[in-house]
Amino acid sequence: MSSDQPTPERGVPERREITVRRAPKYVPFLVLGGLVGFAAAAVIAYALPGDASYDRGTVYGFFMVPCAAAGVILGAIAALILDRASVRRARRGVVESVPETEHPAAGVEIITEPAPEPGPAPERTADDGGEPGQRS
């Protein structure tokens, strides 16, 4: 067996084919949809003419729940559409693992100095409340 042959001790670089794509985060879309729903409920309650027998705050509270739910649903649909579009734009790539022996920090031992012995506490001076730094 020659020395050029990979051995289990040296590690064999493993090659994998992967798919790389940009996927949207769903939570921001859901939150933004809910906020748009709250705004739509405010427009319905305060900008449109209404019945004088109902308080505008009551109308806003009544429309807030269905409008926010509809906004969350629309935000989720928008995120799903963008997720499907990102699948179409996905790129293929090949990655190779780096064995530990080839890593720049491999075989380097980190030496830390012991913490100094605790001694008497330093004297405290009165602070004038100004900015930190030199005191006069």
Is residue 5 predicted with pLDDT exceeding 70? no
How far, in Å, CA of 27 to CA of 70, rounded?
A: 15
The more confident residue out of 117 and 76 is 76
Contact between 97 and 13 under an 8 Å Cβ cutoff? The reply is yes
pTM over 0.75: no
User: What is the reported pLDDT for 14?
Assistant: 78
- The whole-number pLDDT of residue 35 equals 96
